[in-house]
Amino acid sequence: MKRNFLSVAGAVALIVSAFSTSAQAQPSQPSLLSQTELIEAKDEYYMKHYSLYKEYYDNESYEEAMGSWRVLYTLYPMSSKNIYLHGVKLIQTQIGKATDEQKPLWVDTLMAVYEQRIKYFEQEGFLRGSQGYDLLRYNPQRYKDAYNYFQRSYALDKSEMNGGYVAIWMQASFICQQRGEISNEQFLNDYMVSIDILNYQLQKETDAQMKEKIKTYIGNANGFLEKSGVATCEALNEVFAPKFAANPTDLALLKNMTALMERTTFADGRSCRSCDLYAQASVKLYDVEPSAAAAVNLARLFMQQEKYAEAKGFYEKAVAYEGLEATAHAQYYFELATACKVLGQVGDARAYARKAIERNPNWGEPYILIGDLYASSQCGEGEAAKFVYIAAVDQYNRAASVDPDENVKSKARQRASQNSSRFPRREQAFFEGLEEGQTKTVGCWIGETITVRFAD
């Protein structure tokens, strides 16, 4: 039987049935007083049923608690939020032992409890997520209704939507997409929104255990994307190409297209960045809304196309934007330094790498880049020409000491080992007046001060 978004068929009958208590003392209409006000008013009917319900509930006698709980739910809906918190538990217990025929009615009752809590105690965004979660859990055939609850939860809470509900939202979205209830484009949009929320929450979370949970949620979302059949460049082209042709200045469309293509590959493993649609969308995105992210997208595109001068220009536009998050700013400067290195602009490359270090001091890659610049330079004559390798190793050692990433440490140490073997030779250095431990300045553009060491 089809149920709409707020369907509560059968719920009222379940809630108001079986009142077995003093009918003559029962209020003629619901009271909207709080628990404190009811006690002050000496409402005996309320206090009697509250006492019974609480005693049974605390002793986990959930079946016995139902009668008095119904009284409180129906006649004293604003007395306490616990009516709804405990009510969920009571009804979940009923669902667990209900027959197949009864179970849908109890699920409707559960949805009704959430609705009434929203009416009297607000928190609609969170509770719409609770409805979606429980509906998918207890009546998975109503996956589309669950999906609609999650959509409403996101519309209200945005980036503060409960992370666990975001993960289940992706499950509901995947089911809807697989069964043709929503389009591939809508599924991709849900994925992008979900990932953005979870990444935002991961960045601001300080509890280590909660961080691991959020990482699991992200992994689950990525899993649904991979299983969806639209996680390839070919599929994205099929979805987005006609929409882009019809409306090439749609900002939301451009952002979704470029962000998804950056995360996706062709069947042969090539990045979507290499496809024409990505290039066209990136250029149009920068035209419509110039930003650091759009400039970087274009710079990376030009790097792939080996148009390094054009890439450098867009990287320079990106790093010039104010208010960038420090880690992202460092990444942009590092990529700019890399472009300059390829162009042979070693002085600019080092300067930009140092700016990356300023913004992310515990990142080793910029030090490695500077070390590579030094090691590939030709400065000085005789054994002094080998000072460049000492300067390079100093940078590699610095990278290994500051970066907590073991992969970066290993990379830096390997380079340091390779270049240490290229240090000046002791015997030849002696004839050139060089001694171990001397302080020297590396020549030409480098200008670094080093301590003389020998390879042997």
Residues contacting 53, CB < 8 A, separation 6+: 65, 68, 69, 71, 72, 86
* Helix extents (H) in 124-272: 124-138, 143-157, 163-178, 184-204, 208-227, 233-246, 251-262
pLDDT in tens, 403-418: 999 999 999 999 999 9
pLDDT at residue 262, rounded to an integer: 85
Domains defined along the chain, listed by start: 1-122 (no CATH), 124-231 (1.25.40), 363-456 (no CATH)
- The closest of 262, 331, 257, 319 to 291, measured between CA atoms, is 319
Instruction: Output the pLDDT for position 264.
Output: 87
178 C-beta neighbours (distance < 10 Å), count: 15
* Integer Cα distance of 256 and 193 in angstroms: 10
| Alpha carbon 441 to its chain's center | 47
| pLDDT, tens only, 87-106 | 999 999 999 999 999 999 99
- Tokens 């890439």 belong to 311
Say what the pLDDT of residue 456 is: 84
> Which residues, 6 or more positions from 343, have their beta carbon under 8 angstroms from its beta carbon?
308, 309, 312
Give the residues of the chain that fall short of pLDDT 70.
Answer: 1-25
| pLDDT recorded at residue 230 | 92
Task: For residue 449, give the H/E element and its range.
Answer: strand 449-451
Dist CA 335 CA 355 (whole Å) = 11
What's the chain's Rg over C-alpha atoms? 32
pLDDT at res. 114: 98
Cα separation values, 358 from 69, 326, 372, Å: 62, 9, 19
Q: How far is CA 447 from CA 36, 107, 136, 362, 380, in A?
A: 77, 75, 66, 24, 11
Pair 265, 234: CB distance under 8 Å:
no
Q: What's the predicted TM-score (pTM) here?
A: 0.64
- How far are the Cα atoms of 270, 341, 427 from residue 432, in angstroms, in the given order? 53, 32, 9
Q: How far apart are CA 183 and CA 188, in angstroms?
A: 9
- The answer to whether 420 and 432 are in contact (CB under 8 A) is no
